[in-house]
Amino acid sequence: MKFIRLEKVRDGKYLKNYELTYLNKAGREKKYEIVSRKELQDVNDLGAKVSGVSIIATMDDKLLLLHEFRMGVNKRIYNLCAGMIEEHETIEDCIRRELYEETGLQVKKIRSILPPSYSAVAISDVKTYIAFVDAAGSFDDHSSANEDIEKDFYTREQVEKLLESEEFSSRAQLAAYFFTKGSL
């Protein structure tokens, strides 16, 4: 595939829509639509900046899962605590802020942060970190009026049952699966 051009189609408040044009293996133009959280000038900007973090938090050998209403699918799903890195914020500060804002919990220890990965590579260039943390404290609600979040810690057995019957975001589903296997 050979890149030809990038054109902004729509400039939304949080997402920008772009049309990418490539020359395919058969020598014909292929148009592809994506969304980005960033302003893109050319092909080199695709995936160049990290947008946020997903947080895999545990406490007392239990996994934190959010059961939250997501407008994009018009239903509640199980998800990880996650959020966007603010301008001039370190990833560590973002982890602390997002965990607190969505749950009221504190970060006891950041165990590791994986290198950035693509969140939805089929439709977006959004890249986020995945952080593994030990949490402390108790739940409190600091979420915005636009967030509908139920939060709780779950045992391995409870997570196993949720995986059989409930809907998850893909990252939360992977984290939950590996948690049930004792790999987190």
Which tens digits make up the pLDDT trace of 95-104? 999 999 999 9
Which tens digits make up the pLDDT trace of 71-90? 999 999 999 999 999 999 99
pLDDT (0 to 100) of residue 95? 98
102/107 Cα distance (integer angstroms): 12
Percentage of the chain beyond pLDDT 70 is: 100
pLDDT (0 to 100) of residue 144? 78
> How far lies 109's CA from each of 62, 92, 132, in Å?
15, 10, 9
Looking at per-residue pLDDT, the higher value among 162 and 148 belongs to 162
Which tens digits make up the pLDDT trace of 169-183? 999 999 999 999 998
pLDDT range class, residue 142, cuts 50, 70, 90: confident
- Residue 146, pLDDT > 80, answer yes
- Residue 141, pLDDT > 80, answer no
Q: Please state the rounded mean pLDDT for residues 129-146.
A: 90
Which tens digits make up the pLDDT trace of 44-75? 999 999 999 999 999 999 999 999 999 999 99
Percentage of the chain beyond pLDDT 90 is: 92
> How far lies 82's CA from each of 3, 48, 136, 171, in Å?
32, 20, 17, 11
Q: Please state the rounded mean pLDDT for residues 13-18.
A: 94
> How far lies 5's CA from each of 23, 27, 33, 37, 80, in Å?
10, 15, 12, 19, 35
Q: What's this model's pTM, rounded to 2 decimal places?
A: 0.92
